[in-house]
Amino acid sequence: MYVIYAPMEVLRGKPVSQRIDSELKLLSEKIGAPTLVVYLVNGDRSSAIYARSKIKKGEKIGAKVILREYSKDVSIDELEMNLSKDATDPAIHGIMIERPLPDGIDIHEPMKIVPSVKDVEGLHPENYGLLGMGDPRFIAPTPLGALLLMLHYGVEIKGSEVVVVGRSPNVGRPLATLLSQKVAWGNATVTLVHSRTKDIGAHTKRADIVITAVGRSKMLKGDMVKEGAILIDLGINPEGNGIVGDVDIEDVAGKAWGATPTPGGTGPVTVSSMFLNLYKARMLQEGLKVEFNDEILGSVYGERGGN
Ligand code: NAP
């Protein structure tokens, strides 16, 4: 059942993920099903749910997903040996490692084995560097999804004041880099705030677009946003039996022009965006021209966008 936060526009993720998935289904027929390997290295329940949701999504769009599960006391040597096999196997197009990893395993170590061209999470230093240089190859799925969601809803990014709350390497920081790119879908003036920022509200209150990637339930209140702002909430915070975002959506309704709900907002778009990276990975590995029929996918990843 949909909750309506009148008079605010509710920017749902489903139409955006469906849009991406439709393109990927077509690509499965055109270029063949790509294969993703997901490493699940702990007994964490939510990571297992996320990993299995990828298998389901893969079945839906026509991609193959292999799950490699390990107990939390797996040795780094065993993990790295299997990663090395997948890294060199031409039948594997993308590799991702579910987080959090058990204590004692630093994500940077296994990630060093994942070749940049199979890095569907956009975390390889080469891909990170390409993004910083203004020539993105694989954009981390959460920032990519946030961008695609805004483009789908016709949000004016160019010239806007954007405040990103949260500076993590996989979400807030690449997002700030992405939206300030000198390309048609970028050109925002971006401020990145974090836990050491003195007065977060002073920044968010002047923003046309606020994007939260924090992990603090309902931290963004109505008195922290300006009239007519657009709020993209990437936070996922357990509450009771469900989840809530970083934005207090009831409190901002009536003040903001539009906001993504949680659940039902950015989450599904992130998963589809990871698959978008997988298809792009296959095209790059097989020397195919990277092109998409869909206008927004083409603008970001095709001939018209970064490669
Ligand atoms: P993270 O690595 O813990 O980073 C959180 C960021 O928020 C840090 O930069 C931290 O600042 C900042 N922060 C923490 N408390 C703050 C406060 N009170 N005020 C301002 N900034 C504060 O988390 P993450 O991986 O980026 O994930 C952030 C949220 O997004 C989580 O809820 C996660 O579950 C969610 N997420 C959602 C998706 C999706 O698909 N929608 C995907 C990935 C993650 P410091 O750097 O100063 O510590």
Question: Of all atoms in ligand 1, which is nearest to the CA of residue 233?
Answer: 41
Whether residue 247 has its Cβ less than 6 Å from ligand 1? no
pLDDT at position 306, please? 47
pLDDT of residue 60: 95
Q: Is the CB of 213 under 6 A from ligand 1?
A: yes
- Nearest ligand 1 atom to the CA of 265 is 41
User: From residue 24, how far is each of 32, 119, 251, 278 by CA, in Å?
Assistant: 10, 18, 37, 10
Whether residue 305 has pLDDT greater than 70: no
In angstroms, what is the span from residue 109 Cα to ligand 1's centroid? Answer: 22
Query: Chain-wide mean pLDDT for the chain?
Result: 94
3-state secondary structure of 111: helix
Domain borders along the chain are 9-13+141-266, 27-121+270-301
For the Cβ of 191 lying below 6 angstroms from any atom of ligand 1, the answer is no
9-13+141-266 shares its CATH topology with 27-121+270-301 = yes
Higher pLDDT, 181 or 2: 181
Greatest CA span in the chain, whole angstroms? 55
What is the per-residue pLDDT across 96-154, written as a single tens digit (0 to 9) for each?
999 888 888 888 888 889 999 999 999 999 999 999 999 999 999 999 999 999 999 99
What are the structure tokens assigned to 32, written together? 């063949």
Task: Give yes or no for residue 53 CB within 6 A of ligand 1.
Answer: no
Cα(166) to centroid of ligand 1, in Å? 5
Instruction: Give residue 276's pLDDT.
Output: 98
Q: Which fold has domain 27-121+270-301?
A: Rossmann fold (3.40.50)
What confidence tens digit (pLDDT) does each residue in 41-96 have?
A: 976 777 888 888 899 999 999 999 999 999 988 988 999 999 999 999 999 999 99
Nearest CA to ligand 1 atom 6: 166
Cα gap 258→225, rounded to integer Å: 12
Distance CA 6, CA 287 (A): 49
- pLDDT confidence bin for 307, thresholds 50/70/90: very low
- 9-13+141-266 classified as CATH 3.30.460.80: no
112 vs 80: CA distance, rounded Å: 9
Nearest to 61 by CA among 92, 24, 95, 115: 24
State the pLDDT at residue 252: 97
Give residue 168 CA to ligand 1 midpoint distance, Å.
6
